Amino acid sequence: MRVTVSVLKADVGGFVGHSNMHPRLVEIARESLDAAKIDGKIIDYYVAYCGDDLNLIVTHTKGEDSPEIHKLAWDVFLRCTEAAKKLKLYGAGQDLLSDAFSGNLKGMGPGYAEMELEERKSEPIIIFMADKTSPGAWNLPLYKIFADPFNTPGLVIDPSMHDGFVFEVMDVVDNKVALLSTPEESYDLLVLIGASSRYMVRSVYRKSDGAIAAKASVQRLNFMAGRYVGKDDPVLVVRCQSGFPAVGEVLEAFAFPHLVEGWMRGSHNGPLMPVAFEDATPARFDGPPRVIAAGFQLSDGQLIGPVDLFRDRSFDYTRVKALEITDYMRRHGPFEPHRLHLEEMEYTTLPDVLKKLGSRFKDAED
């Protein structure tokens, strides 16, 4: 059976500030998606949230970029925004850049990752959802999962994965994509995706048969709006087992809390901390950045789950390490590399300061 898994997300208002989700918004999303399920528009749904980001997980048979599914999500986000405005939640409708829906969520503000797949005899998938970061945050774990044998022994010992995987990389500045094949083009791939604010992995395919293995949301709100309107907190869908990395190989890539951009005012680097659903509540310095992992078994498109995979104690050390790194990074105060490079910052006073100081800058002598 061919099924499409669509994960559509938006920040429709934070509670309190940018820290958490108001239960009323979750209720509204559930009511709307329940009605769509009863109408037969979708097969199943699950409403998740990470920090102040609302994630609609929807299964259906309408394929990727379906105007009907995107409109459904858009209407849910609008309804939630209305409620958020009444409650005066923070940044209500923050990610909705337009008033009029034009057939597709592309360029509209919300982020999405969609995967049409032929459902296998058993189809375990993991949906990762993050807050206070950007889609470039997936580059390092995706490389580890699909190209690093020290993370994924299946690349070495499982004949069905031994040929490797193909990465689709997007240049979000020039709006171009390229396919790179691993292991043979690993070094070329790394020189690109190591620059994770510009080059982002959008999809991963199994080389032997071209089967889809992972899809990420790569919308960049700040570029789309021509000015900064909020960090594009990302989502990622990964297929697991039987010719794909095992669930544990996929999760293993998150045992290292790597530095990602998007913390405090969208202008700081911090460690990506894997947490249980109930702990996806960034607080200290609006962070540190969080990621949750929802595991599902698909069964004729039904979402059997979720299992809250990072709730497990095997991630306790990672969390402690992330908190140590939080402390270390915070002590840099307004200095790089805690603060982002100038071009990547949401907020800057630099032009005003330079204007004010203008005449005081003299030519430097040799």
Report the interface residues with Mg ion, using CB under 5 A: 11, 14, 18, 51-53, 91, 131, 233
**Residue 144 binds which entry of ligand 13P, Mg ion, none, CB below 5-8 Å type-dependent:** none
Report, in Å, the least distance between residue 5 CB and ligand 13P: 22
Report, in Å, the least distance between residue 18 CB and ligand 13P: 4
What interhelical angle do 67-86 and 23-38 show, nearest 10?
150
| CA pseudo-torsion sign 278, 284, 286, 288 | negative
Report, in Å, the least distance between residue 360 CB and ligand 13P: 31
**Residue 288 binds which entry of Mg ion, ligand 13P, none, CB below 5-8 Å type-dependent:** none
Q: DSSP state, 137?
A: G
Report, in Å, the least distance between residue 307 CB and Mg ion: 23
* Residue of 171, 228, 279, 321 with catalytic role: 228
Q: Tell me the CA distances in angstroms from 9 to 54, 114, 232, 336, one per residue in order.
A: 5, 11, 9, 30
Residue type at 239 in one-letter notation: R
Contacts of 184 (CB under 8 A, 6+ apart): 164
Nearest to ligand 13P of 36, 50 (CB atom) = 50
Which residues of 207-330 form beta strands (DSSP E)? 212-216, 235-239, 259-262, 268-271, 273-274, 290-299, 302-308
- 44: which strand partners? 59
| H-run or E-run covering 132 | none
Report, in Å, the least distance between residue 117 CB and ligand 13P: 20
Question: Does the active-site annotation cover 11?
Answer: yes
Question: Residue 248 — φ and ψ, nearest 5°?
Answer: -70, -30
Nearest to ligand 13P of 114, 233 (CB atom) = 233
CA-to-CA distance for 234 and 220, rounded, in angstroms?
10
Nearest to ligand 13P of 124, 306 (CB atom) = 124
**Residue 183 binds which entry of ligand 13P, Mg ion, none, CB below 5-8 Å type-dependent:** none
Nearest to Mg ion of 18, 206 (CB atom) = 18
* Residue of 49, 53, 231, 233 with catalytic role: 231
Which spans of this chain sit near ligand 13P (rule: CB under 6 A)? 11, 18, 51-52, 91, 94, 131-132, 230-231, 233, 246, 248, 264-266, 286
Preceding amide of 23 cis, omega within 30 = no
Q: Say if CB 101 and CB 68 are below 8 A apart.
A: no
CA-to-CA distance for 269 and 285, rounded, in angstroms?
11
Collapsing DSSP states into helix, strand and coil, what is residue 48? strand
Nearest to ligand 13P of 194, 337 (CB atom) = 337
**Residue 243 binds which entry of ligand 13P, Mg ion, none, CB below 5-8 Å type-dependent:** none
* Residue of 11, 44, 131, 286 with catalytic role: 11
Catalytic residues: 11, 228, 231
